[in-house]
Each structure stands twice: as C-alpha cells, then as structure tokens.
Amino acid sequence: MRRDDFPILQEKNRNKPVVYFDSASSAQKPRQVVEAMRDFYYRGYANIHRGIYELSERSSQLYENSRERVKQFIHAADIDEIVFVRSTTEGINLVAQAYGRTHWQAGDEVIVSEMEHHSNIVPWYLLKEQIGIELKVIPVAEDGTLDMATYQTLFSPRTKLVTVTHASNVLGTINPIQEITAIAHAHHVPVLVDGAQAVPHLPVDVQALDVDFYLFSGHKLYGPSGVGVLYGKKKYLAAMPPYHGGGGMIETVSFSQITFAKTPHKFEAGTPDIAGVIGLHAAMDYVDSIGMEAIFAHSQTLLAYAQPQLAAIPGLRILGTAPAKVGVISFTIDGIHPHDLGTVLDHEGIAVRAGHHCAQPLMERFGVPATVRVSFGIYNSKEEIDKLVAAIHLAKRLFT
Ligand SMILES: *Cc1c(COP(=O)(O)O)cnc(C)c1O
C-alpha cells in the first residue's frame, strides 16, 4: 500500500532491502509530510502569533489551520479543546501536573491498567511521590484483554481519574473505551486515554468515545517527531492552570500580576514546533487520503496472515491474542533470547523491537523479561511477512 511514498523503503538495512516492522515505535515518513515541512521552511517560515508582517500572519494561519484539522481528525467539538504538545508523554505529564496536582490530595486514587506504556504510569507515580495519591491497577487477562469485572470493583469515593491506553503497544489489544468511559462516568470520574497506538490504526471520534482527555503523537502517525496533541474537554482544560510559563501564553505580565491567555494557548508557552505542527497537518491529510478504514483493514489483513504462521512455529508464544487488535504482534521463542532473535532479523534486513517496550509491569504479568515485537504500518506487505517467517526459521537453526 503506497510504498512509493516512502523513500526510506529504497534504503538498505545490513545491505538487504529494509523490512520495517517497527512502526509502533515510530512510523516512517511519506514524501507528502517531508515536503510540506520543507516548503514551510523554504517559503513560509516565521514565528507565529507575534509578527505584524505577512509572513508571520501566514505562519500563524498554517499553525491554527492544523489545530482545526486535528479537531476534524479526532472529531472534537471545539478547536479550543486541541492543545499542541511535544508528544503523548508530554501531554500526560501536563494533565498529571496541571489537573491532578491542582485538584487532588493524599489518599486520592487513580485507576490505571496493567498494560500501560511507562509514559502512562510514571507521571502518576510522580504524583504519588509528590502528593501521596494511590494507584489502583486493572489486571490484564491471559489473552491480553482488560479484566473488566475487576475494573468495576476498583472505584471508591476517592477515585479521581481512570487512565488507560486505547491500544496496547505490546499486545495490540484494542480496549473497549466506550464501555470503560461509561462505567467511569457513572461514578462521576473522568477518563484519560493514551491514543498513541490507536490513532495510527483506527478512526478515532473523541465525542463518540466520550473521553475527557485523549493524547497522541505525530511521529507514530507518519508525521514528524516533536509534536503531539492533547485533547481535553473544555470544562477540564478551563479548570487547569498553565503547565509551563513563558511567551505566547499570557495576556498581561507585570512583576506583581500576570493574567493568562485562554485555552489552548494557555498551555503552549514559548515558540512551539511550528514546522512539526504543519507536518502533522500533512500527515493527517495523508492518512485520510488513504482512509483510516482502509488503513485498519490493511493491518487486519497482515495480522490474519502473520499470526497463524507465527503461532505454528514450534516454541513460539504470542503474547496478546485478543479478538480486537491493532497491527502489533509480540512473541517469545523457547531457547532464543529476544535480543538474539532481533540481531538475526536485523542481519536479514528486518527491523523489529526486542525488549520490554516501555511496559515492564506487563512483562512481569506475563512472566517474561522481554519479547520481540513486530508492528505493521501502511507500507508493509505479505511478502515481508514471508521474509520474517523465513528469518525466524533461520534463527531457530542457529540457536536451537
Ligand atoms: C509510543 C507510545 C507512547 C509514548 O509516545 P511518545 O511519542 O514517546 O511520547 C505512549 N503510549 C503508547 C501506547 C505508545 O505506544
């Protein structure tokens, strides 16, 4: 699918045609995104929000157009609900500090799942250290789905937030966000969803999901690194003080009194990644030109092709066999360390991840120190999966 848009796929890895199976870590970039950023740097560059000259007006307009595009892309109700941040990680930290630290006290509770990426664990752990909140954990069942029965028992009068990933970067599991949100809202508890792994794979409608906060990163959506999105319902963003202080987020400043700009600008202190925001716009246009439904269908075709072939390899164990998955497959093989397998694959030109994937609690849950993870992007093909399967057989001959 659209391989020609990705110049990097013409490159070699260890002198073999590159087979890129690490899109869950970061996706490759199509020409359309790189050219939009290059055009901006060559023909339209100026800082935003400050200039009274035409170039700066145009740059500001492009920046704000991208905000409008994000609103459409995730079906937000209002453009003021879209905050540009550096990444999913920064967005979660922003909510933890500006919302959690402002409104919570020692003994308040946050419900988090066992399958979270470290970036949806550590910011809450920091709050535990800073103000004494407690973390309650939704367990993961053997097939990689969330234990929804236990989830419902974790609420107490002290519960302040439910924070879960939309899709797991290790197991691939797509979580039932609508159901999770409905249950939390019945307890009057807001929900934050880490969409880093879902946004590149599925159409997302934050209003239909009824989430209160939603995060994603540009670089996993075939866009640039250094830009991400925090979506927050207006009533929550309005109840949050600024996270960073600096230029661009104030109305007036004196040494005795500062008044802040309104959301979303209140949260965007300093010169942002302007070209990144423009590149993100191009990335959203790019994926929509293919269609998020078609992108989802492509990953499902690759999953359905790869999973049975991998599962048939003796000693290979797939972690995460939920019925609803994004294009991510984690596995271990008896007798071969994931890093050794990763090295053999690398020598065949195949780029995969081997390690704990920033999800150590989940590794512990499954009793493994690490896995190999294969993740699919829009450019991957069945022929590449055939190469993967052949390379795994080669590794088995070498190591067992
Ligand atoms: C990659 C990832 C993150 C972190 O994204 P950054 O862009 O590194 O901030 C968080 N959660 C999940 C599920 C991820 O896959």
| DSSP structural state of residue 216 | E
Same domain, 305 and 273: no
- Which pair of tokens denotes residue 87? 């990444």
Q: What is the mean pLDDT of residues 186-214?
A: 98
- 311: domain range? 3-28+291-399
- CA dihedral (151, 134, 114, 180) positive or negative: positive
**pLDDT given for residue 62 in this prediction:** 97
**For position 365, which CATH number holds?**
3.90.1150.10
Helices (H), the chain: 31-39, 54-73, 88-94, 101-103, 122-131, 148-153, 177-186, 206-209, 234-238, 274-290, 292-311, 338-347, 360-365, 382-399
Q: What pLDDT digit, counting tens, does each position of 136-167 carry?
A: 999 999 999 999 999 999 999 999 999 999 99
Same domain, 143 and 276: yes
* Ligand 1 site, residue 175, Cβ cutoff 6 A: no
The average confidence (pLDDT) of the chain is 96
pTM of the model: 0.97
Same domain, 73 and 209: yes
Find the angle CA(166)-CA(171)-CA(177) to the nearest 5 degrees. Answer: 20
Q: Which of 288, 318, 346 marks a domain boundary? A: 288
Tell whether the model's pLDDT for residue 50 goes beyond 80. no
Tell whether the model's pLDDT for residue 94 goes beyond 80. yes
CA 374/CA 289 separation, integer angstroms: 25
Q: What is the mean pLDDT of residues 288-299?
A: 97
For residue 55, give the H/E element and its range.
Answer: helix 54-73
Q: Which of 89, 121, 280 to mutate to test the pocket of ligand 1 (most atoms within 8 A of CB)?
A: 89
**pLDDT given for residue 359 in this prediction:** 95
**For position 60, which CATH number holds?**
3.40.640.10
**pLDDT given for residue 383 in this prediction:** 97
Percent pLDDT > 70 in the chain is 100
Q: How many domains does the chain have?
A: 2
* Ligand 1 site, residue 117, Cβ cutoff 6 A: yes
**pLDDT given for residue 398 in this prediction:** 92
Res. 49 pLDDT band, cuts 50 70 90: confident
**pLDDT given for residue 51 in this prediction:** 77
Q: Which of 194, 201, 373 to mutate to test the pocket of ligand 1 (most atoms within 8 A of CB)?
A: 194
CA 40/CA 50 separation, integer angstroms: 17
Same domain, 324 and 220: no
Q: What pLDDT digit, counting tens, does each position of 210-255 carry?
A: 999 999 999 999 999 999 999 999 999 999 999 999 988 889 999 9
- Which pair of tokens denotes residue 225? 């690194």
Point out the residues that are catalytic.
358
At 6, the amino acid letter reads F
Q: Which of 265, 288, 311 marks a domain boundary? A: 288
104: Cα separation from own chain's centroid: 26
* Ligand 1 site, residue 88, Cβ cutoff 6 A: yes
